[in-house]
Structure 1
């Protein structure tokens, strides 16, 4: 004779549902959250829902086809949210899942802790647009998903014999582990529940996180009513070139090098790691104020502009206006090294746009830096600015336009 779930099982289910809500695994609002709440209310041992039931209860589609794609799309998103949460959860709690082929929340049948698999880093190939305050809505970027880097990637025990110049020598000698931070960008989806196949991905410079999206949904329900957090960020194309230049120099036998996106960098990490940023000015996030508060430069009205505080000279990237033509143009690459009050050694390897980053990365990774830069790097905090000549995205040459100690 079958028996229902015990009181202890019901309590465990209710507590785990409450914990998932507290961690906002399904978000604070939106269709994914409504789907989660609907399945949660049915209980851990209740009869699984059907597609028509979900379509009517969550999406208000009473005449929905039994094989409607909308339900499958959102169930998949909720399932992935749960999997991503538990992948980094160290609480030891039992895990809830949506079993394949079942529309219900269930405790996983097997609960065991195994050694994590170190993922590869997948660097997307695409270049974003980076005005500092300009809102870009409707920019559909389909092949720029940041996949592996949201799990910390590690290089450890790699035998590298690449020469180390004065810029990187302090990192190699440091007792702290090295954390490489890649500038990344949040994108959200705009999805019509009736026609999900016609959805698009959007980069809006007012919306830099899932929480920002919730705020915009509350402030502008007409504009953001069909917007959804789809758990995606992207990297600029040039990040791959930056990593390719830096990793061989830093990787030494026995040293640990971790890689995370800038959106995951927390202030307390500077208490434990030395940090190297690789990306564009627009992706600095937490490191932006730290970097430019102690600099001779400041950002202009857009991330294409870098202003020398001493004389007001403006260095403006020309890439956006000339990338599509065969004309030569100038972009800018910036390198700095400084130590934070917490003792962290920080290096910034950044470009105004992709050409700048592609040009600066190999330039500062070579064994022999320009004499002026090498002398500064052999001392304390410093910064340098390079002008990179480009054509249709290719970096053709570089010229040092400034090098000096940080204020």
Structure 2
């Protein structure tokens, strides 16, 4: 069985490429890699599809539902997309396996789109490549999702970021030309270690309508990854069976403003600037780069423990609240849902500290957009940067600064217009790494 599709490699029967022992070992390596996640369903589905392919069987959707998912024979595949969702996810997990574990494999097993079967491909044949570049790190979408507003926003972001990153001797009035001498920024600019810009993002997924297509996009605060969504599928299938992973995330509006303020500063270093979403950050990234985080406090996720490990501030009853452990004072934002024309209060948070003797972490954050935007402005303004420099502990040994600050910001209609410093501290940087950063 072979098939040729335009712009795709030739699909081969697995036994044409692998003998039974090799195929069994390959399936074992994929299962042991962890790429299939915590769910047992994906391992069972992979084994089932491989077994079917080796005997020349192309199973029907209802057969997979009954034999793999444990559904009864009355399961209505026309109204429930569970099988299609699992096969779609397994297809992506196989891609991830080869990308992360066997990138040089001469042959791979894949699940051709529109089929419930495992096939083999020759990787020496030309395969359509995904677009690369800075935008791929900022807007994470691997589904081919088409939306004119998204496309326009993406294009606008790309154009602006490229303008800021490209060297231009005529931009003498840019923030990049004014701020590199500040030790807060020079701590990540005056060496050869690369800088990784981490953007706080939020996982979103699709909800299927009665026709089986995506009816709307959904954000739930307790579902923050594909694995979380899978767990919800298994624990509450009745309520979540229409939810479908689209491998999408979004960033708040304030992050775009913060990017426009901070990227010129980092670009002035002349260093390689890597960009990633928080959801894609890993331990190796933190160890091998200076880290500059832009986003909401609630999206700190993997960095949250080390950011607050030595801090006198702790997240309160929600991410819209910080508690000063020394004074007992609460700092609470009411910028979440302000009414039109109503004044609101928000908070912006800044932190910088050495993650090790080699690299530095800088956090430009806020509870909501106003706080984030004000903090980004403060970190790119010569006057406020000088004020922050004066707060650094000049008696601390070493050249890596350790400082955190909180700004109280007032605004109307989601626009910040005034803010002032209400808290600062020089945390002990040695305390940061009492929290193990090895579990993600």
In structure 1, the residue corresponding to 2:405 is in which secondary structure?
A: strand
C-alpha contact 1:304 1:352 (8 A) present in aligned 2: yes
- 1:266 paired residue number: 282
On the 8 A contact 1:190/1:201 being kept in 2, the answer is yes
**Residue number among 328, 349, 353 corresponding to 2:368 in the alignment:** 353
Distance 1:200 1:16, change over 3 A: farther
The 8 Å contact of residues 144 and 235 in structure 1, kept in 2 or not, is answered as no
- The Cα shift of 1:370 comes to 4.9
The worse-fitting range, judged by mean Cα deviation, of 64-73 and 393-402 is 64-73
Where 1:350 maps in the other structure, the secondary structure is strand
Match of 1:315 in 2: 331
- Report the CA distance between 1:333 and its aligned residue: 0.8
Aligned to 2:48: 38
RMSD of Structure 2 on Structure 1 (CA): 4.2
Instruction: State the distance in 2 between where 1:81 and 1:144 align.
Output: 25
Which residue of structure 2 lines up, in the alignment, with residue 326 of structure 1? 341
Q: How far apart are the structure 2 equivalents of 1:70 and 1:406? A: 49
Take 1:394 and 1:282, find their aligned partners in 2: how far apart are those partners? 20
Determine helix, strand or coil for the equivalent of 1:42: helix
1:284 aligns with 2:300: yes
Q: TM-score, normalised by structure 1?
A: 0.76
Q: Closer, same or farther in 2 for the Cα pair 1:219/1:76, shift >3 Å? A: closer
Aligned length: 381
CA distance in 2, matches of 1:207, 1:369: 38
Alignment gaps of 5+ in structure 1: 126-142, 149-153
Secondary structure, in 3 states, of the residue corresponding to 2:348? strand
Which deviates more from structure 2 when the two are superposed, residues 346-355 or residues 394-403? 394-403
Higher percent of residues as helix: 2
Aligned twin of 1:134: none
**What is the Cα deviation at residue 242 of structure 1?**
1.9
What is aligned with 1:344?
359
What is the aligned partner in structure 2 of residue 121 from structure 1? 135
Structure 1 residue 358, shift from structure 2 partner: 2.0
Aligned residue in 2 for 1:237:
253
Give the structure 2 partner of residue 29 of structure 1. Answer: 39
In structure 1, C-alpha distance between the alignment counterparts of 2:325 and 2:305, rounded to whole Å: 15
Task: Quickly say closer, same or farther: Cα 1:371–1:341, change in 2 above 3 A.
Answer: closer
Distance 2:323 2:312 in 1: 8
Structure 1 pair 113–10 and aligned structure 2 pair: CA distance change class (3 A): farther
The one-character-per-residue Cα deviations of 1:73-126 (angstroms, maximum 9, x if unpaired) are: 65444333333443444453332112345432111133479998633426569x
Give the TM-score taking structure 2 as reference length. Answer: 0.71
Separation in 2, partners of 1:336, 1:315: 16
How much does 1:280 deviate? 0.9
Moved more, 75-84 or 197-206: 197-206
Single out whichever of 91-100 and 30-39 deviates more from structure 2. Answer: 30-39
